[in-house]
Structures are given as structure tokens and as C-alpha cells.
Amino acid sequence: MMKETNYDPSFTDGADTKAKEVLKRYFGYDDFRTGQSSIINSLLAGEDALGIMPTGAGKSICYQVPALMMSGVTLVISPLISLMIDQVKALNQAGIHAAYLNSSLTVGQYYKALDYARQMVYKIIYVAPERLLTEEFQSFARSTEISMVAIDEAHCVSQWGQDFRPSYLKITEFIDSLPKRPIVAAFTATATDLVKNDIIKILHLHNPHTVVTGFDRKNLSFEVRKEKDKFSFLIPYLREHKDQNGIIYCSTRKTVEEVTDRLRQEGFAVTRYHAGLGDRERNQNQDDFIYDKVNLMVATNAFGMGIDKSNVNFVIHYNMPKNLESYYQEAGRAGRDGSNAECILLYAPKDVVTNQYLIDLGNDNEELDDFSRRKVRENEYEKLKQMTFYCFTNDCLREYILRYFGEYGQGYCGNCSNCLTNFEEVDVTAISEALVKTVSESRERYGINVIIDTIRGGKNSKIMQFRMNEASTYASMSKESDKTVRLVVNHLLLTEYLILTNDNYPILKLGPNAHYLLNKERTIMMKMMKEEKKIKPKKVVEYTDKKSAAPAVLDVNEALFAELKSLRAKLATIQKVPAYIIFNDKTLTEMAAYLPVTEEEMLEINGVGAMKFEKYGQDFIDVIKEFKDAADNSSTDSNNQNID
């Protein structure tokens, strides 16, 4: 039996007083975000938990706070080295003793860390799943009080998820080997119902307290562009956002190299990341981006999982990903601090072909039998179809994503390219009937191009070879443009009047709703673009007025914000950590708006806890005081000049 709590955004969690004190002292926040308190309280009560929370929603707080309140050690099982290093640095900066155990350590470092772990020096230890069943780690685990095992990126355990990792299947074997079963908590940002049930079943979660906070991230805007020359869009966009941090995702290593080379030729500070690079270069390039030495990263999907960089302002998908889970997870690396950010997908038809190739190439997992491998491939093709539909829908893009994950919004978000475009409802019944009738009469033997060319009266060799010029529907839609007819085809695929096979040469076939059109029983209306982007985008505000607790637009002094960023960069260099680990952009924004000059005022700023204030608070207060004094002197001088 599974207890599940779906949270309304207006719901405010009650939080345990001691947990709030830990949150404030180490992390600098006065209250928990939606869902965090519920998970924390259930873990402190000894219950297993499953948290499905979008990127940036604060999943790590859900296990870090209770870890500090439990008597023993908390193990965090994490799939990527970069994630562990990043989280441990952030915890150490907050005054929390934490460590990681993975292949980045030398043998000597690994055994030294294990020795400290046995002495209970660390409250939180990050470990790669591959290490769990090694003799050394097993010896440590059996002789240590392990209060909790937290599993990050838990969707990796499911073969139906987008990042299935066979090593995750070893987790239950490890937990079962312990003298006493610890509390088990699992977390993921993206999970369909199928994946969610898989997580619970495979990880043997005991009646888990399940919290689904919702997948919507209102600070992200979504846009799909169909560009013949993607680079012609990319250059002007990057120049317009030259001072911002961004990730450009490409589907292949070759494309990463091509885009990186061209951007360098155009004078951009850019680096690259893909599995074909050596470990040393890959790690250096990742560090250059995380530490703000360059502001652009061009990468395959090998980059990003576990990267906690909070100040990514935009994510551009140069190619369409294989599925919506991957897309939303990758796009979600923008705006992690709650600031407005843009997610742009550049679609081209060949992206579909590339992804079909990658799906076929990737189904050689030795952990799966032939039947399972075939089912996984079919599932991935279905996910690709849904991803492709996303690129063609004229409905709200945010609504499409939410609906995919089982949520429903209001149908209009005001913050995606479709909602910001004027559409008109058009009757496309005649075109729809002609398409479906042509597929039926040709006995479902041909692809999209042949069917479209038939109803538009094409005279190419295939039409003549297949004798489609003799079809009853031939040239019946000759006045309609190729673009319009293709949009109607995509709409019919989306609404299951037609289906497209997954063969090397995809064939159009009749869908389950086709009979309504064949029998002339339905009118088909669809949105057609009327006029591009006359509507101004809705500004999403993530800040809160300190007194009224209502959403507020902060009056931020940009000059002071720049000075605070400069100070942060200097401190980050000294501490050898990424700048956002000192304070993220949102925290600096609040400082530049509220101008705190005392310890009490500084501790009111979100992200400034007692430990962080002790390390850095006075440095930032000094800069703010100096700025205020200069502003006051300037105002006084101006008044004196007016008197004179």
C-alpha cells in the first residue's frame, strides 16, 4: 500500500521546530519549501519516503536536514562523481562534515576517508552505487550505525526511465546485507507513474510516504523553434545574452565539436563536454563552466546530471532529445535559484532520424533478455513520438509537459512560445478527411511524403511509380500549402487519427480514431499561427516581500549587485569552490535590494545561515555599507549644489 500526497501550491507545510532550526543555521532559510517538511517529518518518524520533485525544488534538503538530526551516518547513493563533489563542497561550506567515496579518490585517500567514516567524523557520506558491494565498503557499513540510505536520481533503477543504470539494481542487495535495515529515501525529478511504481518495487521501499510536489517550474519559459539554419538563430541570441551562463545540448559528439568550433570562431568564451574526451579534459572543461571561467557549455547529455550550478540563465537544445523526461531534466538545469530562465528547443526533422539511430544503438544492455530489450526499445520509440509531438503542438508547451507527467494546468501559462503567439481556430476537416482516406485507399503502405504529395497533386517519380495519381483524393487539396498539410498530419498523429510506424522507413497507418473521419462523423478544428509574438511575456516573480509574504518585484541596484558578485568571485577563488556555493544569485539579488548592514538584517536574507554569516557575512556587509555611504555622500553633494 502506498501513501501519496499531491501538494497544492497554496498549501503551507508545518515544520518541526528543531528541523527549522537546522535549516536556518546551516542553509540560511526560514522555512521549508512545499513538500520538504512532510518528507523530513516522515523520515524522522522512521518511515521510508519517495520524493518526486522538480529540479531546483530542494530534494537534497529533504535528506540533509534529517541526516543532521539522526544519531548515525546517512549514506547518499549518487550516480555521478560531479554530483557528489559539488554537494560535499556545499555541505562543507555550510559547516557540515561530509565526504564522498568514488573513483576520483586515490587508494590512500579512499582508505583514509573510510577510516574517518568509521570514527563518525562525517554525518553524510556520498557513495557511488558501484562501491556498495566492495569488500572494503561492506566492512565499513557492517560496523557503522547507518541511520538512513538516501537514493538520488532514483529513476535510474527503472528500465522504463530515461537513465537506466544496472548498478542501481545492487542497492537492495546492499541494504539487505546490513545488520539493521536503515530508513530508505528515494528522490527523482522526473518520473511517470510506471517509473514511480518501479522505484518503489525494485528498491523494496516499505510503505513509503510519497510526496509529489508537482512538475511545474513557473520561472522557466519554453520555446520551440523550427530553424533551417540553427546557427543563424544561435549567434544573435548568444550575443544578446553575452553576460549570461548557458548550456547548449547537442545529440552527438560530432555536433558538439562543430558548434563549439564555430562559436569559438565567433569569439565566444565556450567549452565542451562529451564522453569522447579524456577524463582530464572533461573534468577541466566542467570546472571551467562551474567556476564561471567560461559562460557557455556545449555538451551531449553526458553533461549535467548532478551539476548544481544555480546561475544557468538559459538552456538551448540544438537538437531534439529522445524523450520528454530527458528534455525536462536537461532544460531544468536553468534557473535553479528561482530566477527567470529560458528553455529553447531548436527542432529539425533529421533530429528524429538521429534519435531513432541512437535508440537502436543503445539497446545492447547485457542486463536485459531479448524480450525485455525489445519492450524497452518499443517504449523508447513511443517516448520519441511524444517528444516529437511536443515540437509540433500549438497548445501550451508547459501544459503538454505537465500532462505527460500526469498533471493538468490551466491550458494557458503565458510563458511559452505558443501562449505568446496569436493563433486562430481553423477548420481542417477537409484536409484531415483527404489524408485519412488516402492512407486507407493505399492500404497503409506509404510514408508521410507520398500521402501529402498525393492530396496536393504532386507529379514526382514516386507518385507516378506507385500510381497514386489515380487515387480518388489526388490533387483534392492542391490549393493548400505543404506546410499547412504537414501541420494537419502532425495534429492527426497527436490525436490518434493516424499513427506512424517505427520502421526504418516510417509508414502512415490508420489510428484508433480514423473511422470518425472515414465516416464523416467529426469536425476537426486546430490552432493555426496567425501572427508571431505580439504579446509580451508574463514576468514570473519568485521573490517574496519580507513583511507581507506576498510576491514582489525587488528594486535591485545593479551596480551594487555587480560589486557583490565581484566579492563573491574573490572569496570563491580563495576557498577554491564555485561562486554559487558561497551565495547564489538570488541571495545576492536580495542583498542588493534590502541592503542589510547588521548581522540581524543579513540573517533575514534567504540563503544566509549562521555558518555562512560567520564565514562571509561581514565581508558582504562591508561592501553594502561602503556602497550606501557613497550613495549618501553623492546625494548630499547634489543637494548642496541645488542650494548653491
Do 392 and 521 share a domain, yes or no? no
- Give the number of other Cβ atoms within 10 Å of residue 519's Cβ: 9
Do 100 and 168 share a domain, yes or no? yes
Query: When comparing pLDDT for 611 and 516, which is higher?
Result: 516
Q: Which of 531, 547, 573 is the last residue of a domain?
A: 531
- The Cα–Cα gap between 196 and 184 comes to 15
Give the 3-state secondary structure of residue 211.
strand
271-299 pLDDT per residue, tens: 999 989 888 898 899 889 988 899 999 99
- The Cα–Cα gap between 60 and 216 comes to 18
Whether 542 maps to a domain, the answer reads no
Q: Over 70: is that where the pLDDT of 539 sits? A: no
100-149 pLDDT per residue, tens: 988 888 888 988 988 898 888 999 999 989 889 888 899 999 989 999 99
- The Cα–Cα gap between 329 and 334 comes to 10
Highest mean pLDDT among 57-71, 431-445, 594-608: 431-445
CATH code, domain with 300: 3.40.50.300
- Which helix or strand (DSSP H or E) is residue 210 part of? strand 209-212
Sign of the torsion formed by the C-alpha atoms of 53, 153, 260 and 320: negative
Sign of the torsion formed by the C-alpha atoms of 510, 515, 518 and 521: negative
- Give the number of other Cβ atoms within 10 Å of residue 261's Cβ: 13
The pLDDT of residue 146: 94
448-455 and 429-441 are packed helices; what angle lies between their axes, rounded to 10 degrees? 120
The pLDDT of residue 559: 87
Q: Over 80: is that where the pLDDT of 555 sits? A: no
CATH code, domain with 501: 1.10.10.10
Exposure b/e, 532-560, CB count within 10 A at least 16 = b: eeeeebeebeebeeeeeeeeeeeebbeeb
Query: Which regions of 307-412 does DSSP assign to beta strands (E)?
Result: 314-317, 341-347
- The Cα–Cα gap between 474 and 452 comes to 10
pLDDT band at 79 (very low <50, low <70, confident <90, very high): confident
Question: What are the phi and psi torsion angles at 242 (to 5°)?
Answer: -65, -25
8 A C-beta contact, residue 416 and residue 397 = yes
* End-to-end Cα, the chain, rounded Å: 81
Whether 182 maps to a domain, the answer reads yes
Q: Which of 365, 396, 421 is the last residue of a domain?
A: 421
Do 134 and 15 share a domain, yes or no? yes
The pLDDT of residue 575: 87
| Beta-bridge mates of residue 426 | 526
| Beta-bridge mates of residue 343 | 222, 315
DSSP state of 474: T
Cβ neighbors of 447 (< 8 A, separation 6 or more) are: 505, 506, 507, 508
Domain that holds residue 460: 423-531
Sheet-wide strand order for 49-52: 3-6, 209-212, 49-52, 183-188, 146-151, 73-77, 124-127, 98-101
Q: Over 90: is that where the pLDDT of 624 sits? A: yes
**Half-sphere exposure of residue 322, counting CA atoms within 13 Å on the CB side?**
21
The pLDDT of residue 149: 96
Q: Which of 66-80, 160-174, 514-528, 558-572 shows the lowest per-residue confidence on average (mean pLDDT)?
A: 160-174
The pLDDT of residue 641: 53
Query: When comparing pLDDT for 150 and 213, which is higher?
Result: 150
Q: Which of 212, 247, 264 is the last residue of a domain?
A: 212
Paired sense of beta strands 422-427 and 525-531, if any: antiparallel
Give the 3-state secondary structure of residue 186.
strand
362-375 pLDDT per residue, tens: 655 555 667 777 88
- The Cα–Cα gap between 26 and 382 comes to 44
Q: Over 50: is that where the pLDDT of 311 sits? A: yes
- The Cα–Cα gap between 221 and 331 comes to 10
Q: Over 90: is that where the pLDDT of 619 sits? A: yes
Please count the structural domains in the chain.
4
Do 29 and 155 share a domain, yes or no? yes
Whether 541 maps to a domain, the answer reads no
What is the reported pTM?
0.69
Q: Which of 27-36, 278-287, 496-505, 595-604 shows the lowest per-residue confidence on average (mean pLDDT)?
A: 496-505
Whether 536 maps to a domain, the answer reads no
For the residues 590-609, what does the mean pLDDT come to?
A: 90
Do 415 and 429 share a domain, yes or no? no
Q: Over 50: is that where the pLDDT of 6 sits? A: no
Do 249 and 366 share a domain, yes or no? yes
The pLDDT of residue 258: 96
Mean of all residue pLDDT scores within the chain: 85
Q: Which residue has the cell 536536514?
A: 65
CATH code, domain with 569: 1.10.150.80
Whether 584 maps to a domain, the answer reads yes
Q: Over 80: is that where the pLDDT of 205 sits? A: yes
Whether 343 maps to a domain, the answer reads yes
**Half-sphere exposure of residue 17, counting CA atoms within 13 Å on the CB side?**
0
- The Cα–Cα gap between 259 and 233 comes to 12
Q: Which of 4, 24, 126 is nearest to 65 (CA)?
A: 24
The pLDDT of residue 409: 66
Mark out the alpha helices in 160-316 (DSSP H runs).
171-177, 193-202, 230-240, 253-265, 279-290
Dihedral of CA atoms 294, 299, 305, 308 in degrees, nearest 10, equals: 10
Q: Over 90: is that where the pLDDT of 530 sits? A: no
Whether 176 maps to a domain, the answer reads yes
Nearest 5°: the CA angle 472, 474, 477 is 115
Whether 399 maps to a domain, the answer reads yes
- The Cα–Cα gap between 434 and 518 comes to 9
8 A C-beta contact, residue 438 and residue 450 = no
Sort 179 into a burial class: Cβ within 10 Å, 0-12 / 13-18 / 19+. exposed
